[in-house]
Amino acid sequence: MRVFDEARQQRGEKVFLLAWAPGEPAVARAEGEMEELVELATTAGAVVVGSAIQRRANVDPALFFGRGKVEEIRALRSELDFGLVITNDELSPRQQRNLEDALGVPIVDRAGLILDIFAQHARSREGRIQVEAAQLRHLLPRLTGSQPRSRLGGGIGTRGPGEQQLETDRRRIRTRLRVLDRELGQVRDSRALHRAGRKRRPFQTIALVGYTNAGKSSLLNSLTAGGARSENQMFATLDPTTRAIDLGVGPLTLLVDTVGFIQKLPAELVAAFRATLEEVAEADLLLHVLDASRVGASARLETVHSTLEDLGISGPPMVLAVNKIDLCSAEARQRLSMYSSERYLGVGLVSASTGEGLPELRGLLSRALSSRWAAAEAVFPYRERSALDLWRRYGVVDSEEFTAEGIRVTGRMPDDLWEQISQRQDRP
């Protein structure tokens, strides 16, 4: 049990955090998740006044947590003055209702908390649609047998669709979900058209992936002309941001910033943001950004990989950017330089804030992209230069030789560029 005395004097919605660990071996993992839950609650605007982890072999079918622990937390209400309990584990609708009755305060689980943060940070119409669909899917089973609760006025777990979401019945929610699903389908179609347009002009795409608040947006701003929203908080980026980056070889490359991952990412969010995450699946290269300054960086590394596997994204090759090395000691840097894996084409140690390691990272990205280009050779008649212009603009030309038949060119290019060029001239 932890009590945050310094937080009890702060203004804001006071919350108590509660987690479960199935025995002693799982306590360390639960403690790490609890630290992350504190950060999530703070990002949502809450003031954390206390936390507790229950060590129990099995969950209680009715309350999830043991009755003794529930009574202990209930006794702390008057002392700590909290009006909300946030659980690290997802509760069934029945367990949530029973726990609310037993504690006398509303309950929000980890998934609901993350959804609330997404609702606060959604800026674009697309982002709002995705978040609302996720929140309604999370809410729908929790309406069964419960009375509508009007916890309006900015409380955690109430943002987003708001009053309509809490006071409607299941039929109206399903109707609204059908509308949102149609709109998400339109978003998916629109993104597919944009990707097809990029392939007609064979730009290459690098998608930034990583744990939330790893510094992806800051790195994008440092590598490009900037302009992406960058804040030191979780899930500051929900809407994909695309910027051009000149790597010094071939055409301009598109760098796409995407939503960050986290442990226990709600399934409703994965489903709603699938259209956005397709940008990752269709990328030519993934740039995995890791916050080197955080405790448990290796666990966060594995969370990103397992999330990508769950999404079925295994095709694009990957480069690792170990970020925020300016916050690491010399000894820590030495350990970080040992990062290597069959998963990566290369590893770069960088600092998006100071610029350290960025030139080396650019070179690493350039080599990673060009290594996938196929060697090519072709002869272009003098009267037909448009195909050669395509090669010069979007590929790499190693040599040009003027012959009686035309201009003999050797070099390298992406497969989709070769397909366009081969349609305009015959191979030698």
SS3 384: coil
Q: What is the mean pLDDT of the chain?
A: 81
Maximum Cα–Cα distance across the chain: 93
294 pLDDT band, cuts 50/70/90, is confident
Q: How many Cβ atoms are within 10 Å of 192's Cβ, its own excluded?
A: 13
Q: How many Cβ atoms are within 10 Å of 158's Cβ, its own excluded?
A: 22
User: Which CATH fold would you assign to the domain 1-200?
Assistant: Rossmann fold (3.40.50)
Residue 168 has pLDDT above 70, yes or no: no
Task: Match 């070099």 to its residue by tokens.
Answer: 411
**In this predicted model, what pLDDT tens digit does every residue of 277-291 receive, in sequence order?**
777 888 889 999 999
**In this predicted model, what pLDDT tens digit does every residue of 68-89 receive, in sequence order?**
999 999 999 988 989 999 999 9
Pick 416 or 413 by higher pLDDT.
Answer: 413
Residue 172 has pLDDT above 60, yes or no: yes
Domain range list for the chain: 1-200, 202-370, 374-422
Half-sphere exposure of 332 (CA within 13 A, CB side): 16
- What is the secondary structure of 311-380 as a DSSP string? TT---S-EEEEEE-GGGS-HHHHHHHTT---TTEEEEEE--TTT-TTHHHHHHHHHHHHHTTSEEEEEEE
Say if strands 253-257 and 241-245 run parallel, antiparallel, or are unpaired.
antiparallel
**In this predicted model, what pLDDT tens digit does every residue of 84-106 receive, in sequence order?**
999 999 888 899 999 999 999 99
Query: What pLDDT score was predicted for residue 238?
Result: 66
Same fold: 1-200 with 202-370 = yes
Q: Which option is the CATH number for 202-370: 3.30.70.20, 2.60.34.10, 3.40.50.920, 3.40.50.300? A: 3.40.50.300
Mean pLDDT within 384-398: 80
Is-contact 408 376, C-beta < 8 A? no
Query: What pLDDT score was predicted for residue 98?
Result: 93
According to DSSP, residue 267 is labeled: H
CA gap 153, 134 in Å, rounded: 21
Query: What pLDDT score was predicted for residue 247?
Result: 84
Residue 165 has pLDDT above 60, yes or no: no
- The verdict on pTM exceeding 0.95 is no
3-state secondary structure the chain: CEECHHHHHCCCEEEEEEEEECCHHHHHHHHHHHHHHHHHHHHCCEEEEEEEEEECCCCECCCECCHHHHHHHHHCHHHHCCCEEEECCCCCHHHHHHHHHHHCCCEEEHHHHHHHHHHHHCCCHHHHHHHHHHHHHHHHHHHCCCCCCCCCCCCCCCCCCCHHHHHCCHHHHHHHHHHHHHHHHHHHHHHHHHHHHHHHCCCEEEEEEEECCCCHHHHHHHHCCCCCCCCCCCCCCCCCEEEEECCCCCCCEEEEECCCECCCCCHHHHHHCHHHHHHHHCCCEEEEEEECCCCCHHHHHHHHHHHHHHCCCCCCCEEEEEECHHHCCHHHHHHHCCCCCCCEEEEEECCCCCCCCHHHHHHHHHHHHHCCCEEEEEEECCCCCHHHHHHHHHCEEEEEEECCCCEEEEEEECHHHHHHHHCCCCCC
Residue 229 has pLDDT above 70, yes or no: no
Helix %, strand %, coil % of the chain (to 5): 45, 20, 35
Query: What pLDDT score was predicted for residue 281?
Result: 80
Mean pLDDT within 236-257: 78
Query: What pLDDT score was predicted for residue 151?
Result: 45
